Amino acid sequence: MTATERFDGQVALVTGAARGIGAGVARGYVERGGRVALVGLEPDRLAALADELGPAAAWWEADVRDSASLKAAIDAAATHFGRLDHVLANAGIASYGTVRQTEDATFERVVDINLNGVFRTLKHAIPHLERTRGYALVVSSLAAFTPAAGLGAYTASKAGAENLAVATRQEVAHLGITVGSCHPGWVDTDIVRGAEDDLPSFKQARQRMPWPANGTADVDLAVQLILRGMARRKTRVYVPGKVAAAAWSKAFVTSKAAWPYLRRVVGPLVPQMEREVEALGRQHSNHVPTGRGTATS
């Protein structure tokens, strides 16, 4: 770590901060000299993390689906710390099931958290970032480049989040604000492990996907790459770096030429996936909070 990758005197706000990538980034930001505002929907976890990090951290319970609640938390955090220099729009969830079997409310919830929640986070953070000429990083996904069967809501929302980040970057450049998008591949978090435990077909499908979509990244690596991206105000953060290959090959992956391969490799698993979701009796991971809102990506 170089001196330019430290955050001395700076403040970050992290949504979905209770666990996984969000909690890891919060710890790393404080280790590098910064202070952090923790926002999420799991108060016990948020309080424990804030206690662990000491006076450099404070937490607010807020739902990214509730604009007023989220604005109040962001404004309170800026007042508490006196500034906001970085924002990590990290809150996100996934759901189980194909389009034909997914309940309307399930699909809408994923989109509302993963896409609309990013919009609300950016909207309410921009006035504070303008004062510091700050930086926001939107957590999208490898899935924005490689849409997959059974993850329709997730892939659609993450592709939307990527494009929202790019559009917002254009809108706020004159304010001195930079907006980047982060694209993790499959990261070893509670949600990914839970999906593999719940749905054997999900694990099989991942294993059959072409490189780099068939690998799993360590949470610590994801945290380090995100912190580096925040310090360097990068417009693209790939986790791991080889995910960049998927970004550049998106046109091919979604083309007519690739369709026979995808249909042959993934197609046969779809009926199995639908049966597993039906037998499971739920369309989300057990690690998604039961309230209205968020979990970490």
Task: Give pLDDT tens digits for 165-222.
Answer: 999 999 999 999 999 999 997 776 666 766 767 777 776 666 666 555 556 677 899 9
Among candidate residues 72, 28, 18, the one with its CA nearest the CA of residue 50: 18
For 145-167, write each residue's pLDDT tens digit: 888 888 899 999 999 999 999 99
Query: What is the per-residue pLDDT for 293?
Result: 38
Q: What is the pLDDT of residues 90-138, one digit of tens each?
A: 999 988 889 999 999 999 999 999 999 999 999 999 999 999 999 999 9
Whether 154 is a known active-site residue: answer: yes
Alpha-carbon Rg for the chain in angstroms:
18
* Dist. CA 277–CA 255, nearest whole Å: 28
The pLDDT value recorded for residue 23 is 97
φ, ψ dihedrals at 99, nearest 5°: -60, -40
Catalytic residue among 96, 135, 154, 238: 154
| pLDDT tens per residue across span 92-103 | 998 888 999 999
Query: With respect to CATH, is domain 3-280 assigned 3.40.30.10?
Result: no
